[in-house]
């Protein structure tokens, strides 16, 4: 269990203020590849895990990011809101939940994320494996999916657990660093420090 993060209301307010802009739901997720080089891509914010500060991301189990996260469980989010001129850089640990996970609670979370996604989004997980040569020859075959069926094998839920948040507001010219630590009882506590922008 975690205490409420003082950065989370800032992020929720930025999401609300920029909700009319479709791109506000997209952010960049950086990981480290097995070759030691950085890797970066744009992903979709799928909300917070219930009653936590954990950020949910849906992804394909066959994508390169899965092997990168297995190699190094740490990642970084960079999220910029164009309307309110706010940037969030979030360091954290990433947990992968795929169909092979042995934790029944995590499998329920994965299923809930699956059904929260649009049918069009779910169909992407039936497509050929990412980054392999396209051998379809433009056949235009349509994948079929029963909307009532649970997650397909390729569907993964990533849980990004923030450990540090660097918040910059370019309109107010303010910057805060939020850092977490664990209490003796195992709760995550957050401290903030105002720093030069």
> Would 137 be classed as within a structural domain?
no
Q: Which domain holds residue 83?
A: 8-128+150-195
> Would 133 be classed as within a structural domain?
no
User: Please, which residues bridge with residue 56 across strands?
Assistant: 159
**CATH number reported for the structural domain that contains residue 67 in this entry:** 2.30.110.10
> Would 2 be classed as within a structural domain?
no
Burial of 77 (0-12, 13-18, 19+ CB in 10 A): buried
Collapsed DSSP state (helix, strand, coil) of residue 171: coil
> Would 186 be classed as within a structural domain?
yes
> Would 135 be classed as within a structural domain?
no
Per the structure, the count of domains in the chain is 1
> Would 50 be classed as within a structural domain?
yes
For residues 153 and 156, give the distance between their C-alpha atoms in angstroms, rounded to a whole number.
8
Sequence-separated (6 or more) residues with CB below 8 Å from residue 72: 31, 32
pLDDT tens track, the chain, 197 positions = 445 678 999 999 999 999 999 999 999 999 999 899 999 999 999 999 998 999 999 999 999 999 999 999 999 999 999 999 999 999 999 999 999 999 999 999 999 999 999 999 999 999 888 877 877 766 555 677 888 899 999 999 999 999 999 999 999 999 999 999 988 888 899 999 999 99
Collapsed DSSP state (helix, strand, coil) of residue 142: coil
> Would 172 be classed as within a structural domain?
yes
> Would 90 be classed as within a structural domain?
yes
For residues 63 and 154, give the distance between their C-alpha atoms in angstroms, rounded to a whole number.
9
Other C-beta atoms lying within 10 Å of the C-beta of residue 4: 12
């Amino acid at each position: 269990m975690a205490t409420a993060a003082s950065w989370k209301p800032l992020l929720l307010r930025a999401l609300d203020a920029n909700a009319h802009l479709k791109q506000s739901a997209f952010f960049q997720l950086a990981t480290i590849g097995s070759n030691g080089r950085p890797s970066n891509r744009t992903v979709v914010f799928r909300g917070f895990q219930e009653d936590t500060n954990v950020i949910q991301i849906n992804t394909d189990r066959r994508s390169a990011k899965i092997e990168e996260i297995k190699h190094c469980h740490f990642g970084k989010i960079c999220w910029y809101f164009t309307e309110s001129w706010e940037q969030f850089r979030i360091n954290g640990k990433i947990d992968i939940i795929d169909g092979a996970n042995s934790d029944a609670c995590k499998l329920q979370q994965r299923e809930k994320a699956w059904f929260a996604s649009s049918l069009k989004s779910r169909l992407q997980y039936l497509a050929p494996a990412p980054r392999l040569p396209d051998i379809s020859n433009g056949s235009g075959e349509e994948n079929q999916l029963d909307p009532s069926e649970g997650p397909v094998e390729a569907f993964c839920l990533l849980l990004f657990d923030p450990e540090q948040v660097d918040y910059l507001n370019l309109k107010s010219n303010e910057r805060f660093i939020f850092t977490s630590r664990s209490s003796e009882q195992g709760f995550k506590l957050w401290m903030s420090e105002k720093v030069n922008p």
